[in-house]
Structure 1
Amino acid sequence: MAQRVLLIRHGDEPEDDRVATWLAANGYEAVTRKPFAGDSLEDIGEVAASIVYGGLFDVFETGKYPFLRDEDRWIAQCLERDVPLLGICQGCQQIARHLGAWAGAPEREFFEFGYYPILPTEAAGAFLDAPLTVAQAHYHTFDLPHGAVRLAGNEAYPNQAFRYGDKVYGFQFHAEVTPQDFAAGSPAR
């Protein structure tokens, strides 16, 4: 039986992005849940990892979007159980917020929508050893959580990637999106 990876999605985009394609090619079973559409995160069972995707929801508006509280509980469970966790864009902000950092719209309004370079920090090491141009679709950001290591940034958004411990990563950018996916439209936050 294949190891299961839970994908928490915030939209109805096709499920053929780089993450889902890599998981299938490497023998993992991708299990998708869409809490925004009413899917439950209860009784998921054992998972090898979890990925919280991007979307259009303000991570701090848990009263307006109660499903975000369920996702926050899932993030807590992953951290407690030492389950590898990746947050992409909104998911990155959710993990940062769960860890006690601020997340939201910056004072200086600047949208990153398109392809922008990110620069590795010294701490990135082999994770990212050279600048990289990545797909971006956001206007929110986050502060680096206490205990996290900043891995990449750029002038407009210094926090583009972080690691918390050795199994939790947050990417503000969209590494999962192919150029074809991006041309078809991508969620922003």
Structure 2
Amino acid sequence: MPPRQRPQILVVLHQESSSAGRVGHVLLENGFDLDIRRPPLGDALPETLDGHAGTVVFGGPMSANDEDDFVRRETDWLSVPLKENRPFLGICLGAQMLVNHLGGKVEGHGEGLVEIGWYPLKATEAGKSLMHWPEMVYQFHREGFSLPSGATLLATSETYPNQAFRYGENAWGIQFHAELTRVMMHRWVVRGAHRFELPGAQPGRDHLGGRMIWDMHLKRWLMEFLQTIFGKPVQG
């Protein structure tokens, strides 16, 4: 008999140089393959997820409110995983697109504050019932989102209260970044250094120093979180 084909996770990235990072590593180790698409570079998204076990939509430097065609098309496309009730995870921009699709609002902080660096996270009672959450998470955003109608808030923070939510059975959104490898974080710190002057942002040395302290807990959480969303394929 031919070897059993590994189920695929659709991975949506928004820059030529972007990667699925640690999320990709964990999914591969858990028995999935990755089908990587980059809509800003012209890649199409599938009309159905019959051939996929789920989807992860990652972040990017653009806003979910931008008028670019790919932003509108991708936001509209989210009806596919929602309608088919397939596991979906939106990270930062991906979560914000999901919020817009569900009729919520994506906007900056009223006082212009950003979260760029390591910040405390607090799980809600609903979040605590699912798993143990990290006390500190890595952030890199200038906009946040409202909680969509019908969604359950799982984690919160002081500056941007809505940090993680679940919608329905299988749709999840998180504002923070657990996917960064050490190499990815170094690249973000170099390329994003001009943003460290924004109100509320932390200097680059604190990004790297914080990683030495808190990243192990964030990685452990990510592994459990991805298994909660996608499970593991049945081997056979």
TM superposition score normalised by structure 1: 0.90
- The answer on whether the counterparts of 1:120 and 1:128 sit within 8 Å (CA) in structure 2 is no
Higher helix proportion (structure 1 or 2): 2
Secondary structure, aligned partner of 1:183: helix
* Structure 2 residue corresponding to 1:61, chosen from 49, 63, 66: 66
1:41 to 45, 50, 56: 45
The verdict on how the C-alpha distance between 1:185 and 1:44 changes in structure 2, with shifts beyond 3 A counting, is farther
Q: Which secondary structure state, in structure 2, belongs to the residue aligned with residue 185 of structure 1? A: helix
Give the structure with the higher percent strand: 1
Q: Quote the offset at 1:127 in angstroms.
A: 3.1
Q: CA deviation at 1:6?
A: 0.5
1:120 is matched with: 123
Superposed displacement of residue 40, structure 1:
1.0
* Count of equivalent residues: 187
Q: Give the gaps of 5 or more residues in structure 2.
A: 193-236
- In 2, Cα distance between equivalents of 1:177 and 1:127: 23
Q: Secondary structure at the match of 1:107?
A: coil
Alignment check: 8 A CA contact 2:20 2:179 kept? no
Deviation at 1:102, TM superposition (A): 0.5
Amino acid at match of 1:21: H
Instruction: Kindly state the Cα deviation for residue 131 of structure 1 after the two structures are TM-superposed.
Output: 4.7
Alignment of 1:106-117 (within 5 A): 106-117=109-120
CA distance in 1, matches of 2:133, 2:46: 40
Q: Are the equivalent residues in 2 in contact too, given 1:135–1:182 (CA < 8 A)?
A: no
Residues 108-160 of structure 1 show CA distances to partners (whole Å, capped at 9, x for unaligned) of 21111111111101111243435521110001001000000111111101001
Q: Distance in 1 between the 2:181 and 2:119 partners?
A: 14
Q: 2:81, 2:87 within 8 Å by CA — same for their partners in 1?
A: yes
Q: CA deviation at 1:14?
A: 4.8
Larger Cα-atom Rg: 2
2:57 is matched with which residue?
Answer: 52
Q: Quick one: which of 20, 26, 29 aligns to 1:22?
A: 26
1:5 equivalent in alignment to 2:16 = no
CA drift of 1:162 comes to: 0.5
Aligned residues with identical type, % of pairs? 35
1:150 aligns with: 153
What is the root-mean-square deviation in Å for CA atoms of aligned residues? 2.1
Unmatched tracts of structure 1, length 5 or more: none
Structure-1 separation of matches of 2:31 and 2:87 = 17
- Say if 2:8 is the partner of 1:32: no
Matched, 1:139 2:142: yes
Q: Is the 8 A contact 2:7 2:33 kept in 1?
A: yes
Counterparts in 2 of 1:114 and 1:149: CA distance versus 1, 3 Å = same
Q: Could you say what secondary structure the match of 2:121 adopts?
A: strand
